[in-house]
Structure 1
Amino acid sequence: MRLSIKTSPDIAEAMRREVLAGEKATTRAMANVGTDLKLAWRRQINGAGLGTRLANSVRSATYPKSGESLRAAALVWSKAPKIVSAHDQGTTIRSKNGFYLAIPTEAAGRAAGGRRMSPGEWERRRGIRLRFVYRRGAPSLLVADKARMNKKGLAVLSKSKTGRNQVTAPIFILVPQVRLRKRLDLERDADRALNSVPSAIVAQWVEDRTKWPPNVSRS
């Protein structure tokens, strides 16, 4: 009795296609995992009340930039890493020059784009000199004398010659340091993303199998 074994398709070709399918599945899976983590971090930041602008500073990218690889990787980062890290870890913020931190009050208002102003910038914009007020046992202040409050509750230059409606408005509260409480847990979402990688790759591989023969031919 004679036995013969014949493989079809060719084993080498089948293995080549399987490797290409693996490269495709891995690259797509990492792109999906990176995007999911980016969106999870953005939701956390928005949910903590830190604003859409900071949330949108979170970005993601997949490597390699072009083509597919079994060693594909995803990178998720923030374009404002110091701010995000401060809220993620909780930290003490001190003035760089060793003096006070100036915390603006509601009367200070904001610059274009919602940015907080420094005392010097506030003086230039409002045309009012700020006066230092020391308070024993309480934070010191920078106040604006002979100002008036507009309809938005902001301190502006008073042009009254009689002093009518003029006020002394606290513009900045001066403190030696500020302790930010931990408001984020980015590591939690990162761990979930990392643990999801194997199943994400398998899911992509299975999806390609349902579209057999997969479009993985490469010259």
Structure 2
Amino acid sequence: MSPRLHAAIVGDLEKHMAAEIKGAADAATAAVRQAGDGLKRDWRGQITSAGLGQRLANTIRDQYYPKGRASISAAALVYSRASKIVDAFDRGVVIRSKAGFWLAIPTELAGSGLKGRRIRPGEWERRTGMRLRFVYRRGVPSLLVADNARITKRGLAAASRSKTGRGQVTAVIFLLVPQVTLRKRLDLDRAAREWQERLPRLVHDNWPEIESEDQ
């Protein structure tokens, strides 16, 4: 007589399956959060390492779905709140004036605009009460300059109060160029691919061990 193999499931099958499904959901959710957080750190690190500043790096944020619960279908969204700027440095682009004229690049004498943004010629004139004069230069950037200006202790150009002309200068406030080329300084896709490849291992590491009922 040939031997027979007898097999039986020990314990409550539904309970075992529920525990496995919960374990899978917990593992997937934890792994996705670790990958999303890691990608956010890597993107922020790339931005600061490229010399683009902590402020731009802090625009990188993350969100997780579904919110408030574990799921086998957990997903992460890592994004920038300044997506156009980050994308420009990620791809490398040529920036031209929308009106087809000049791009005004402020010098250190111009200062900054509202909320730390790059100041524009019109805003600079309104703030200082001074008029800018156009200086054309062939083959090199043209200029917008302020005549009869003074340089403050903060290194900014301002209106001169001198009646004798003492200390007055012609200050270069903006450089005018037809276009600006931003070279590629980031590689966000590479970091995303690396964390995507790590995801199966993260799921494995977060998978809980299910104890059997006879232990």
> What TM-score do you get using the length of structure 2 for normalisation?
0.92
- Deviation, 1:68, is 1.6
- Deviation, 1:192, is 0.5
One-letter amino acid matched to 2:17: M
* 1:73 match: 75
- Deviation, 1:199, is 0.4
One-letter amino acid matched to 2:185: R
* 1:86 match: 88
- Deviation, 1:53, is 1.1
- Cα separation, 2, equivalents of 1:51 and 1:159: 36
**Superposed CA offset, 1:180-211 (max 9, x none):** 01111111111101101100100100xx22xx
* 1:181 match: 183
Q: Are 1:49 and 2:56 counterparts?
A: no
- Deviation, 1:112, is 4.8
Q: Are 1:168 and 2:170 counterparts?
A: yes
Do 2:109 and 2:157's aligned partners in 1 also have CA atoms closer than 8 Å?
yes
The 3-state SS of whatever aligns with 2:109 is helix
* Mapping of residues 94-113 of structure 1, within 5 Å: 94-113=96-115
- Cα separation, 2, equivalents of 1:31 and 1:116: 35
Do 2:113 and 2:120's aligned partners in 1 also have CA atoms closer than 8 Å?
no
- Cα separation, 1, equivalents of 2:66 and 2:150: 59
- Cα separation, 2, equivalents of 1:7 and 1:141: 84
One-letter amino acid matched to 1:106: E
- Deviation, 1:137, is 1.8
Query: Where do 5+ consecutive residues of structure 1 fail to align?
Result: 215-219
The 3-state SS of whatever aligns with 1:22 is helix
Q: Which sits farther off after the overlay, 7-16 or 146-155?
A: 7-16
- Cα separation, 1, equivalents of 2:6 and 2:129: 97
Stretches (4+) displaced over 4 A? 2-6
Matching residue within 145, 148, 156 for 2:147? 145
- Cα separation, 2, equivalents of 1:36 and 1:6: 44
**Superposed CA offset, 1:26-70 (max 9, x none):** 011101110110011001101111111110111111111122211
* 2:195 match: 193
**Superposed CA offset, 1:98-125 (max 9, x none):** 1110000111111354321100001111
One-letter amino acid matched to 2:75: A
The 3-state SS of whatever aligns with 1:45 is helix
Aligned-residue CA RMSD in angstroms? 1.9
* 1:34 match: 36
Q: What is the percent sequence identity of the aligned residues?
A: 56
One-letter amino acid matched to 2:53: G
* 1:217 match: none
- Cα separation, 2, equivalents of 1:56 and 1:187: 18
- Deviation, 1:4, is 6.8
* 2:124 match: 122
- Cα separation, 1, equivalents of 2:73 and 2:147: 64
- Cα separation, 1, equivalents of 2:152 and 2:211: 71
- Cα separation, 2, equivalents of 1:213 and 1:125: 71
Do 2:113 and 2:123's aligned partners in 1 also have CA atoms closer than 8 Å?
no
